[in-house]
A and B are shown apart, each in its own frame.
Chain A
Amino acid sequence: MSRHTAATRSRHGPVRSGGPSGATGPSGATGPRAPLSLERVDDVRWRIPREQRPGMRVDGLIFASDSLMADLRGDPALDQVANVATLPGIVGASLAMPDVHWGYGFPIGGVAAIRRDGGVVSPGGIGFDINCGVRLIRSGLTARELGPWFERLADALFAAVPSGVGASIGRRLTPGELDSVLLEGARWSLDRGSATGDDIERTEEGGCLGGADPDRVSLRARQRGADQLGTLGSGNHFLELDVVDEVHDAPAADVLGLFTGQVVAFIHCGSRGLGHQVCTDHVATMDRAMARHGIDVPDRQLACAPLDSEEGRAYLGAMAAAANFAWANRQAITHAVRGAFERVLGRSASQLGLGLVYDVSHNIAKFERHIVDGRPTDVCVHRKGATRAFPAGHLDVPLVYRSIGQPVFIPGDMGRCSFVAVGAPGSMAESFGSTCHGAGRTLSRHAAIRALRDVDVARQLGDAGIIVRAERPALLAEEASLAYKDVSEVVRVAEGAGHLRRVARLRPLVVIKG
């Protein structure tokens, strides 16, 4: 269990933040509010005192270095941290991870724990892409021995995993099949021979979140997702082959089955159109229901309902179902990756050592027990663009990893690096067992396209030794490194805060994007 107490205030000088308020009036119109004044707590912590804005029930707590905080000036994310602090039942603090940036309702990189008794659930605190997450697959192969094969692997992976706008598997799941996926998650693949027992053991929640209720998933959501199981999607989702180019913690890397020079497969995607529609549907439902529950929120995208209300239960059932769809999706892609390797290299996935390291979500709500004000308290932890990071010894960490802590994956951008880490005790002390999830953008898509107008991004990546396959070449400019924060700084801050411990750094060799 984690421990959260009402912390004493520490004043080291204020920081003021500006930017749009994010507040919405009855017709959705916004109005300006006084800029927030932040207090610096230490090198990696900043506080928004609850007195800053009417209705804040707890402080805001932001994990950021000077350079990351400089990026946040003028970003609505800080106002969103303050808004989240108004949610009924919130305990501890409204948290922002080092990669925090502008989201909808909650900031991306936002974490909030809501008391189970008398608290609310807010779909905006999970996000539209329910159970967007990352999965790491190790291999027994090195980058050196695979060198002659990377182009063919890139082509095989690109052909095997539908990606991009409008990606489809070419057939629609029947209603019965879809119900099974929504109930069973990654376990649905076990019966079909496209998952192993180890895959299930090394997936958060065993690849299946309890409480799923397919009846709470609308027809629209089902229609959107029916032909998307096994697809990558678009935007910042990806399938990569990376090399482990630096090990920071050799004993932990050994437990994870990682070594320097090793090739790994990295998958980032979520619940596709099904999950997106679930969030949209239930935001609308809760928006209509809030007045009846006596709830008022400063941002309509924070629409919420009591956990024990009809609307709350309906959303939780649908969210679990969508989360299960996402795990089934990543498992289907895993099966496709293994098949591509087998076809190109002429050996079985088992012979190639293609085993799952772990699969972890970064958009989800979980019922967990944490220490709040000295007492064990059941809370609903909302993680939006934030990763669970339980430390060594926690019973929810798979037994095979319990000695080192739960694996955490922090993807960077396609031109630089990503990190493998494990959860650390500091996460339980102050962030409800949570940490960051990625790099976060600094440039808009249009700005990135303008900046790279005369640049052949694919060639630039090729010159750096990175093979790219993309459905839409223009996407490469949108997703280029200059559009993203440096994930190394994000991870440094998270480690400095005691939330995680770095294990290895990964560098991309093959990038598949939608």
Chain B
Amino acid sequence: MSSAARTHRALPHTADAGFVATAPSLPELFEEAGRALAELVADVDPTAETDRWEDVALDATDLTGLAFGWLNELIALIDIQRSAIVTTRIDRLEGPVPPVEDGPYRLRARVGLRAADATGVRLLHQPKSATYHDLSVAHTGAGWTMRAYLDL
């Protein structure tokens, strides 16, 4: 699938930060959301390499809950590992597709991190959490969209 079809943009918020991510498939959507969050947290040089990989395993009863879990797992990893996200890779994302709204859903992923004090990394923000406020994962005719707000 063309990477050009994956996009994200910032959403305005008075105190915090939000984003809308779009992608052709659900796994790509979750990767794109990871990229949006990564850019919010840090400037990472495009040539900077991953120096640590973390596995993520999540289960949820609905897609919004899965998105909540995914974004918050990334935030926790950033905080615990004192790192920036270089890349995210969704290995498995299983569950019902629309119009069925409820799961269960299962996500397995790998997250590439780079230490915050390594070259090519400049930390920008330290989110407290991703929130349920206006959190949505929706299927449109052109693909998938995720909307999320992060408490900074």
A50 within 8 A of B: no
Contacts A102-B13, A102-B14, A166-B116; A284 near B68 (Cβ below 8 A): yes
- Interface assignment of B80: CB less than 8 Å from any CB of chain A: yes
Nearest B-chain residue to A280, judged by Cβ: B129
What's the Cα separation between A277 and B130 when bound, in Å? 10
Q: Is the interface of B mostly helix, strand, loop or mixed?
A: mixed
Q: A27-B62, A30-B136, A220-B76 are in contact. Are A102 and B151 (CB under 8 A)?
A: no
Cβ-defined partner of B15 (8 Å) among A101, A105, A168, A220: A101
Query: Which of the listed residues B132, B137, B152 has the most CB atoms from chain A within 10 Å of its own CB?
Result: B132
Assuming the A-B contacts A166-B116, A168-B82, A441-B14, are A303 and B132 also in contact, with contact meaning beta carbons closer than 8 angstroms in the complex? yes
- Considering only residues 9-50 of chain A, those with a C-beta below 8 Å from chain B are 20, 22, 24, 26-30
Give the nearest-CB partner of A29 in chain B.
B136
**0 or 1 for each of B9-44: is its CB under 8 Å from A? (1 = yes):** 010111101000000000000000000000000000
Assembled-state Cα–Cα distance A220/B69 (Å) = 13
Contact of B132 among A220, A235, A283 (CB under 8 A): A283
The answer to whether B111 has its CB under 8 Å from any CB of chain A is no
Task: Determine if B82 and A24 form an interchain contact, defined as CB atoms under 8 angstroms apart.
Answer: no
Is B129 in contact with A28, judged by CB distance below 8 angstroms?
no
* A166–B80 CB distance below 8 A: no
A100 to chain B, nearest CB (A): 12
- B92 lies within 8 A of chain A by Cβ: no
Cβ–Cβ contact A128 & B151, under 8 A: yes
Contact of B135 among A75, A276, A300 (CB under 8 A): A300
A-side contacts of B14, CB under 8 Å: 75, 101-102, 441-444
Contacting residues of chain A (440-460) with chain B, CB-CB under 8 angstroms: 441-447
Per-position contact with B for A417-445: 1 when CB-CB < 8 Å, else 0?
A: 00000000000000000000000011111
Interface residue? B64 (CB, 8 A):
yes
B126 in contact (CB, < 8 A)? yes
Q: Which A residues touch B68, using CB under 8 A?
A: 284
Cβ-defined contact, B79 with A446, below 8 A = no
Q: Within the assembled complex, what's the spacing in Å between the Cα atoms of A220 and B126?
A: 16
Closest 9 CB pairs of A and B: A28-B64, A300-B132, A276-B128, A301-B132, A28-B136, A128-B128, A165-B123, A28-B135, A165-B126
What residues make up the interface of A, taking CB atoms closer than 8 Å to B? 20, 22, 24, 26-30, 75, 101-102, 104-105, 108, 128-129, 164-166, 168, 220, 223-224, 233-235, 273, 276-277, 279-280, 283-284, 287-288, 299-301, 303, 441-447, 472, 474
